[in-house]
Amino acid sequence: MDNLTVIKIGGNIIDDPAALKRFLTSFAGLAGSKLLVHGGGKIATQVAEKLGIQTVMVEGRRITDQPMLDVVTMVYGGLVNKQIVARLQALDVNAIGMTGADAGTVLAKKRPVKDIDYGMVGDIDEVDSGQIQFFLRQSLTPVFAPITYTSSGDLLNTNADTMASAIAVDMAHHNQVTLIYCFEKKGVLNDPADDNSVINELTPALYARNKAEGTINKGMIPKLDNAFKALGSGVSKVIICHADELAMAVQQGAGTTLKK
């Protein structure tokens, strides 16, 4: 099987032009087949404010009504995605910008209302890994914005960490997949206030213990839940690292590596 690296880049890096430039240069330098999933950062909130659309957050997650869906589609699937694609082209990476709706690659359904109504937010049903594999075989590098679609033709805002995990799992049918989450921290930390307290290896048992002790909390929990799910569903390796240390992480010299 061919090797494939699936990388998710966080919104805080998207918001920092210098950090994004460094990351994309590292991404371009990776050997072999690769695929990028990006978040949206704060740009959607800024654009919404200019348009007079209120941003509503509950427990750190965006409530996506129809006006906000229009904004995130324009920003994530348009502005951010095409800026990344253009910069990768300048780095000699033949990138193709996509959402989950393009070529029917990521099908989702609207999240059911339980305690919170998240609005037009998608839970992924299916990834067409064969179609993504076709693009890779044409020497194209897919760059996914976190927008999916429904069988009835609606667009949905979708968590980028979840999208990266789902794509990595399905692509594992065709490739030996490494999934890497890049963000502004050096990995999973023993002490959230100390960026050098990186946990080099994390097992499910150690993860559970750190959650119970409160060392791992907030936004890191859904990221790790997605990561361990991918690791248990066919993905060969999962790494969480700083965006500036992508190349070192691929060579097993940085970040946190998840173990079964």
C-alpha 23/C-alpha 243 separation (Å) is 6
Q: Please indicate if the annotation marks 210 as binding a ligand.
A: no
Whole-number Å distance between alpha carbons of 61 and 170: 26
Q: Is 40 known to sit in a ligand binding site? A: yes
Bridge partners (DSSP) of residue 147 are 157
Sheet with strand 106-110: strands edge to edge: 122-127, 106-110, 147-149, 155-157
Question: Is 209 assigned to a binding site?
Answer: no
Residue 117 burial (CB count, 10 A)? 12
61 assigned binding-site residue = no
User: CA 258, 188, 12, 150 torsion: positive or negative?
Assistant: positive
Rounded CA-CA distance 107/105 in Å is 7
Beta strands in the chain (DSSP E): 2-9, 33-38, 57-58, 61-62, 95-98, 106-110, 122-127, 141-144, 147-149, 155-157, 175-183, 201-202, 237-242, 256-258
Taking alpha carbons only, the member of 166, 184, 182, 238 closest to residue 207 is 238
Tokens of 26: 């590292």
Q: Summarize the annotated binding site as residue ranges.
A: 40-41, 62, 157
Q: Which residues are annotated as a binding site for substrate?
A: 40-41, 62, 157
